[in-house]
Amino acid sequence: MAEVLVVVEHSGGAVKKLTLELLTLARTLGEPAAVVFGAPGSAAALTGRLGEYGAAKIYAVESDELTGYLVAPKATVLASLIGDVAPAAVLLGSTQEGKEIAGRLAVKLDNGLLTDVSDLAADGTATQVVFAGSTIVRSKVSRGLPLATLRPNSVAPVPAPVTPAVSPVEVPLSDADKLVKVVDRVVEQKGSRPELTEASVVVSGGRGLGSAENFKLVEELADLLGGAVGASRAATDSGFYPHQFQVGQTGKTVSPQLYVALGISGAIQHRAGMQTSKTIVAVNKDAEAPIFELADFGVVGDLFKVVPQAAEEIRKRA
Amino acid sequence: MNIVVLVKQVPDSGAERELRSDDQTIDRSSANNVLNEMDEYAVEEALKLQEALGGEVTVLTMGPEQAGEAIRKALQMGPDKAVHVLDGALHGSCAVATSKVLAAALRTLNPDLVLAGAESTDGRVQVMPHMIAERLGIAALTGARKLTVDGGTLTVERQTEEGYEVVTAATPAIVSVWDTINEPRYPSLKGIMAAKKKPVQTLSLADLGISPDEVGFAGSTSTVVESTKRPPRQAGTKVTDSGDGGVQLVEFLATERFV
């Protein structure tokens, strides 16, 4: 069976959930082979988890140099690996870095690229949901091999344990790979909450929260539900919450099992980023707010009364 | 410092958007077409750099005749001139082919810095800066929320999932920007009048030395097989809080097994 290359995303010695989704999808297309980029020793820490989800092979691309430059070296290494193993498909996460590596790869190989797919069938047909969730597109790569980036939370990760064979891959970098140097990495707001795009529950706050201070209501409910915190553009633009948590057309696209919208009217800008969530719950004082058109359950009322009561009720039931 | 800003005309993301049933490209006839919002931030950043460092700001787009409207919108903010790559054979081009055309146009302009919006509101693919950089062999610094120029060195602060990172590169380079980087100016009446007289050069594929079969549907590396409208979400239960709204909400969550 031909290999399907999966580019692994990891952080702090842990494999990200999106990678487990990619491995699960890869198994339907061929034999999953995980490609780990990182400092020396990175792959060893991830082998167990990658094997648990079916990575028969692991390509360990390890170098201190690699992490010091932006994406270009990774695309170079992948292009050479693709030449060597002739995979059936190449899958990456639809994250900023995943898309950027894939974009460079597409140009290097003169190969088609399908981004933000929610599924990739065995015949190479991808499914994409576009235009703020209003249209479903089926598309195919017409030149080269299937090269796709998968939107987080599209596939339920299912274990299929194997013992991976680990092969080290040499990293010969050229000057063209070293044009952009990373001089500093700053971790902000890294709490115990799950990452926004990967979370199965997202609780978001909007203009209705009224202040940065009041966002602790959103955080409290998110923590009780084990979810991530999001914010509407109105809330981030007003400085209520940091910009990287913005959900919407100009922010993150999320597709969790449960999306809770607090004090968010549901302008199309916001809906574009959360419309494909499985279950949507909204609290808003305006009964006419468009968010209620999408909500499976909506409460028309004062969020400063409804949310604390809901939090109390969850604690009671716990 | 000579700067080229990449701009794109897109269907208004605030209105209904559709794909054409005949060839699966964006239906521009039914949509209200606008300058891609994120591109305004790229234009603003270019103008701020020009104010500080001098040089020329050129707007570059690839698109059909009507994309000229987006060029005018951008010129109203203050850039000096524009280049419009316009050729019937471009219709249906994929991202890979588009990057080939834009890279060829940039070679004729030879800028120190290329600025672009971090994404367009229609495709939201975000790959163009890296595709172009790959073709031109220049640095790509994407998703900037802050850009500083010191001689020939660029430093960018970019948002990441976990915080931000600081990256640096030498010019020539391409930088894409998010809407956190600045506050775009509104065109003044003077700017609107002046834009009408600013030079817009049109380039064809022949001018760029690209054969028509390398672009459009013929040269595309991916194909849309079909598209269907997704059924709109149905509104569910809506209750008005009369003192137990929070409890009712949790009851719903419990039936759905979230608590």
Whether residue B16 is contained in a domain is answered as yes
Q: Which residue of A has its CA nearest to B17?
A: A131
The segments of chain B whose pLDDT lies below 50 read none
Q: Check CB contact under 8 Å for B222 and A179.
A: no
Whether residue B144 is contained in a domain is answered as yes
For the domain that residue B165 is a member of, what is the CATH number? 3.40.50.620
| Prediction pTM value | 0.92
Q: Closest Cα to residue A77, out of A179, A176, A180, A172?
A: A172
Q: Check CB contact under 8 Å for A137 and B173.
A: no
A245 in B contact zone (CB under 8 Å): no
To the nearest whole Å, the CA of B236 is away from the closest chain A CA by 4
Whether residue B258 is contained in a domain is answered as no
Look at chain B and report how many structural domains it folds into.
1
What is the per-residue pLDDT for A76? 96
| A75 contacts on B by Cβ (under 8 Å) | 134
> According to the 3-state scheme, what is the secondary structure of chain A?
CCEEEEECCEECCEECHHHHHHHHHHCCCCEEEEEEEECCCHHHHHHHHHHHCCCCEEEEEECCCHHHECCHHHHHHHHHHHHHHCCCEEEEECCHHHHHHHHHHHHHHCCCCEEEEEEECCCCCEEEEECCCCEEEEEEECCCCCEEEECCCCCCCCCCCCCCEEEECCCCCCHHHHCCEEEEEEECCCCCCCCCCCCCEEEEECHHHCCCCCHHHHHHHHHHCCCEEEECHHHHHCCCCCHHHEECCCCECCCCCEEEEECCCCCHHHHCCCCCCCEEEEEECCCCCHHHHCCCEEEECCHHHHHHHHHHHHHHHC
Residue A272's alpha-carbon distances to A73, A130, A253, B157, B237, in angstroms, are: 33, 9, 7, 26, 22
Q: Check CB contact under 8 Å for A195 and B253.
A: no
A171-180: string of b/e by CB count within 10 Å (b at 16+)?
beeeeebbbb
What is the per-residue pLDDT for A203? 98
Whether residue B244 is contained in a domain is answered as no
A193, pLDDT greater than 60 = yes
| A143 contacts on B by Cβ (under 8 Å) | 220-222
Q: Which residue of B has its CA nearest to A129?
A: B230
Average pLDDT, chain A: 95
Interface of A with B in 164-183 (CB under 8 A): 176, 179-183
User: Which of A309, A312, A317 has the highest number of chain B CBs within 10 A, making it the mutation to test binding with B?
Assistant: A309
DSSP chain B: --EEEE--EEE-TTS---B-TTT-SB-TTTS-EEE-HHHHHHHHHHHHHHHHH---EEEEEE--GGGHHHHHHHHHHS-SEEEEE--GGGTT--HHHHHHHHHHHHHHH--SEEEEES--TTT----HHHHHHHHHT-EEEEEEEEEEEETTEEEEEEE-SSEEEEEEEESSEEEEE-TTS--PPPPPHHHHHHHTTS-EEEE-HHHHT--GGGSHHHH-SEEEEEEEEPPPPPP-EEEE-SS-HHHHHHHHHHHTT--
> Residue B82 belongs to what domain range?
2-219
Q: Check CB contact under 8 Å for B228 and A135.
A: yes
Q: Closest Cα to residue B118, out of B179, B73, B71?
A: B179
Q: Check CB contact under 8 Å for B127 and A179.
A: no
Q: Check CB contact under 8 Å for B227 and A135.
A: yes
Distance CA B227, CA B18 (A): 9
Percent above pLDDT 90 for chain A: 87
Q: Which residue of A has its CA nearest to B137?
A: A176
pLDDT band, very low/low/confident/very high, at A189 (cuts 50, 70, 90) = low
Whether residue B253 is contained in a domain is answered as no
Q: Which residue of A has its CA nearest to B122?
A: A131
B252 in A contact zone (CB under 8 Å): yes
In angstroms, how far apart are the furthest CA atoms of chain A? 61
What is the per-residue pLDDT for B232? 82
What is the per-residue pLDDT for B258? 94
Q: Check CB contact under 8 Å for B227 and A107.
A: no
Overall average pLDDT of the A141-152 stretch: 97
Distance CA B184, CA B31 (A): 24
A33-88 pLDDT, tens digit each: 999 999 999 999 999 999 999 999 999 999 988 889 999 999 999 999 999 999 99
User: Which of A297, A304, A306 has the highest number of chain B CBs within 10 A, making it the mutation to test binding with B?
Assistant: A297
| B125 contacts on A by Cβ (under 8 Å) | 99, 103, 115-116
B7 in A contact zone (CB under 8 Å): no
Average pLDDT, chain B: 94
B169-206 pLDDT, tens digit each: 999 999 999 999 999 999 999 999 999 999 999 999 99
Angle at the Cα of B135 from the Cα atoms of A140 and B201, rounded to 5 degrees: 100
A133 in B contact zone (CB under 8 Å): yes
A298 in B contact zone (CB under 8 Å): yes
Q: Check CB contact under 8 Å for A112 and B221.
A: yes
What is the per-residue pLDDT for A43? 96
A257-316 pLDDT, tens digit each: 999 999 999 998 899 899 989 999 999 999 999 999 999 999 999 999 999 999 999 999
Whether residue B226 is contained in a domain is answered as no
Distance CA A149, CA A99 (A): 6
Only one residue has tokens 């569910």, namely: B236
Q: Check CB contact under 8 Å for A131 and B127.
A: no
CB pairs A-B closer than 8 Å: 280
| A257 contacts on B by Cβ (under 8 Å) | 258
ipTM of the complex: 0.93
Tokens of B85: 């790559």
A136 in B contact zone (CB under 8 Å): yes
Whether residue B39 is contained in a domain is answered as yes
Q: Check CB contact under 8 Å for A103 and B131.
A: yes
Q: Which of B124, B138, B248 has the CB atom closest to A299's CB atom?
A: B248
Q: Which residue of A has its CA nearest to B24?
A: A137
Q: Which of A133, A140, A300 has the CB atom closest to B222's CB atom?
A: A140
B180 in A contact zone (CB under 8 Å): yes
| B99 contacts on A by Cβ (under 8 Å) | 107
A65 in B contact zone (CB under 8 Å): no
What is the per-residue pLDDT for A190? 57
To the nearest whole Å, the CA of B242 is away from the closest chain A CA by 8
Whether residue B246 is contained in a domain is answered as no
B23 in A contact zone (CB under 8 Å): no
Q: Check CB contact under 8 Å for A96 and B142.
A: yes
Overall average pLDDT of the A147-176 stretch: 95
Q: Check CB contact under 8 Å for A225 and B99.
A: no
Distance CA A53, CA A16 (A): 12
B202-225 pLDDT, tens digit each: 999 999 999 999 999 999 999 999
User: B178: how many CB neighbours lie within 10 A of its CB?
Assistant: 22
What is the per-residue pLDDT for B211? 97
